[in-house]
Amino acid sequence: MAGRFAHLINDEIRYILLDMDGTLLDRYFDDYFWEHLLPERYAEKNHLTPEEARRDLLERYRKTEGTLQWTDLDYWSSQLKIDIPALKKQTEHLIDVHPHVIPFLTEMRRKQKSVVLVTNAHFKALDIKMRKTRLGPFLDRVVTSGDLGYPKERLEFWGRLAGILGEGYEVYAVLVDDTQAVLRTARTFGIRHLLHKAGASSALPVTRSDEFTSIHLFTELMD
């Protein structure tokens, strides 16, 4: 039986635009890394209590949220004097793909859709995750905010994406993302088909959007 939103992937759709962290991949890894593991290491290095370190880092995160710095591993390595890519590699065993992602990507390729990863991830984080998950062969393109010079929360990202996919791509695209701020920006740009990925982290309750159509499992988009 077809998923309840499978009709959205119709013959008119050419591009399947997919976020990575929280959408294709379980965000548990990133939440654990940035909210627990890194504060622990930062506390040890700076002789702080874990709670002091966590408060300090959360404030730093908030100041860079929605900018290229937020996901720039080199920026954080420089700021914190901790080798962030190396620390990520030590915990890469926690990186995991959400259920049914591979069958979904396989079906999209069978339907001859262009599957495009659109992510704010820094290229070093992207490399670690692609090596661990081996999703690369299922993707036609990978476009990062670093490539385009703007995070996905900015209209300029989606405008510059036209230079890769072609003018007017927004009419023929479906975007799936777990971040509603990104979906709002994409809607403002003109992308017609927007889906919120609920259940971004396996460690948190599944919360569907009141603003966008939500999917929890990718089977909801499959025939």
User: Is residue 220 scored above 90 in pLDDT?
Assistant: yes
pTM for this model (two decimals): 0.96
Write down the domain spans for the chain: 6-27+96-221, 29-93
Q: What pLDDT digit, counting tens, does each position of 131-173 carry?
A: 999 999 999 999 999 999 999 999 999 999 999 999 999 999 9
User: Is residue 98 scored above 80 in pLDDT?
Assistant: yes
Q: Which CATH superfamily is domain 6-27+96-221 in?
A: HAD superfamily/HAD-like (3.40.50.1000)
DSSP string, the chain: ---TTGGGS-TT--EEEE-TBTTTB-THHHHHIIIIIHHHHHHHHHT--HHHHHHHHHHHHHHHTTSGGGG-HHHHHHHHTS-HHHHHHHTGGG--BPTTHHHHHHHHHHTT-EEEEEE---HHHHHHHHHHH--GGG-SEEEEHHHHTS-TTSHHHHHHHHHHH-TTGGGGEEEEES-HHHHHHHHHHT--EEEEE---STTS-----SSSEEESSGGGG--
Give the residue-averaged pLDDT of 195-209.
97
Phi/psi for 157 (5° steps) reads -60, -50
Q: What pLDDT digit, counting tens, does each position of 19-45 carry?
A: 999 999 999 999 999 999 999 999 999
Tokens representing residue 35 in the block: 């909210």
Quick one: pLDDT at residue 186?
Answer: 98
Give the residue-averaged pLDDT of 211-215.
98
User: Is residue 1 scored above 90 in pLDDT?
Assistant: no
- Computed over every residue of the chain, the mean pLDDT equals 97
Quick one: pLDDT at residue 2?
Answer: 85
